[in-house]
Amino acid sequence: MAPSIRLSPAARSLFDEPLAIAVQGLGPRQQVTLRTSLRDETGELFQASARYQADDDGQLDLARCPALPGGSFSGLEPMGLLWALQPQKPFWRLVKRDVQSPFLLQLEVLEGHGERPGRLLAQAQHERAFLRDGVRRVPVREGRIRATLFLPPGEDNFPGIIDIHGFGGGLLEPRASLLANHGFATLALAYYQFEDLPQKPKELHLEYFEEAVNYMLQHPQVKGPGVGLLGFSKGAEVSLAMAAFLKNITAVASLNAPVAATCIPFSYKDKVIPTVTLYEHQAKATNSKFLDYSDVIDDPFQAPGNQSLIPVEKAEAQFLFIVGQDDRVVKSEYYATEVCKILQAQGKGNFHILSYPGTGHCIDPPFFPLYPIGSHPVFHKRAVLGGELRAYSKAQVHAWSQVQAFFKKYL
């Protein structure tokens, strides 16, 4: 019997879902290398490989068989061939622009464990999709709002979430589309550098975000009385400001948030939150010649009555702070801890912190590759963003399940 790859689900799975990988038809105790590859929408290649040995019956099941040293990872890691994918082009990030098309994953079984790949024994293709059958993608151009709404299948009404990305502008849909697969009506909201939105806003007007909240609550398929917010980095900072000043925000999941206004001030009616000072000269060069910017933000907790600190204590919402202990862009663990001390001092218990070791600034849904060094969101220089491969892969899976559980509980 010729070797073959057995996948479950067989042909197509969602990007954030586990994929079971097995090989049958090998020789007893045969040594093989498994390799995965995927090209992004620009054609850049991501690859991972691992060394294995078949069992006495010539079977190899990644759920039961540990990878041997010498590949992208070792040990019992059933999903290692997905989470260990790394770009062939240095410092390249895997981004999905068109969520309506899947990524195509290639799997190969190669003979032996040599430095050079051996003979090809088996291969398979698999689609990693962002939309479950029946999920609807609705472009939203209502009033000033520029967004995409993802609605789960069916005519029911669903808990509503607004998904807000970090610095860099544009409209990013992967996280919102994946959340919709799990039963949430999710609005991926752009707020600058997209279509007719400002390219370089002087202020972020919370009235714009208020319009998005009202749009969601007026939608016949969004279950009120409030909405959830899921924000990353600057988007998490926006989410905290929304919760502090706007009505009808029930739950906020914050991924590595600055808790003070950074780079762009907020305004709401006659109130302005000025930005915290950044000291670019405090960036440190690391041994690898990349810059570490983790100390450039002025500590908003050191000056009493700091005007740039977001008054989170005014919010009625429940908060879930998700922080990477190795975040080199924002001191997110310190910030979350200090904010929760303020809430506690006011007699509030509306918060929970999830803190992940070996996890840097970028916390994506499961199985997106680690992006530890890249362009700094503010200074646009090559910088350490933080994170370590195996720890990050575990954090992604755990945090994603916790975000969904949090929104199911409070929405």
Q: What is the pLDDT of residues 205-254, one digit of tens each?
A: 999 999 999 999 999 999 999 999 999 999 999 999 999 999 999 999 99
Q: Are residues 103 and 174 in the same domain?
A: no
Q: Are residues 109 and 143 in the same domain?
A: no
pLDDT confidence of residue 70: 96
Largest interatomic CA distance in the chain: 75
CA distances from 187 to 1, 175, 214, 340 (A): 50, 10, 12, 27
Q: Are residues 298 and 399 in the same domain?
A: yes
Query: Which two tokens mark 369?
Result: 């590759």
Domain boundary pick from 103, 129, 155: 129
Q: What is the pLDDT of residues 37-56, one digit of tens each?
A: 999 999 999 999 999 999 99
Residue range of the domain that includes 14: 4-129
Annotation says 352 is catalytic? no
Global pTM value: 0.96
Domain boundary pick from 89, 107, 129: 129
Number of domains in the chain: 2
Q: Are residues 274 and 144 in the same domain?
A: yes
Map tokens 């997209």 to a residue.
Answer: 194
pLDDT confidence of residue 405: 98
pLDDT confidence of residue 48: 98
Q: Are residues 123 and 150 in the same domain?
A: no
pLDDT confidence of residue 62: 98
Alpha carbon distance 339, 237 (integer Å): 12
Supply φ then ψ for residue 38, to 5 degrees: -150, 135
Q: Tell which wins on pLDDT, 74 or 279.
A: 74
Alpha carbon distance 276, 260 (integer Å): 7
CB contact burial 398-410 (16+ within 10 A = b; e otherwise): ebbeebbebbeeb
Annotation says 327 is catalytic? yes
Annotation says 393 is catalytic? no
- Bridge-partner residues for 383, per DSSP? 291, 374
Highest mean pLDDT among 32-46, 284-298, 380-394: 32-46
From the list 126, 327, 364, 393, the catalytic residue is 327
CB contact burial 51-75 (16+ within 10 A = b; e otherwise): bbbbeeebbbbbeebebeeebbbee
From the list 49, 177, 233, 332, the catalytic residue is 233
Q: Are residues 239 and 319 in the same domain?
A: yes
Question: Taking Cα atoms as reference points, which of 360, 373, 370, 359 lies closest to residue 290?
Answer: 373
From the list 361, 364, 376, 393, the catalytic residue is 361
Q: What is the pLDDT of residues 346-359, one digit of tens each?
A: 999 999 999 999 99
- Bridge-partner residues for 149, per DSSP? 138, 187
Statement: residue 287 has pLDDT above 80 = no
CATH number at residue 87: 2.60.40.2240
Q: Are residues 180 and 306 in the same domain?
A: yes
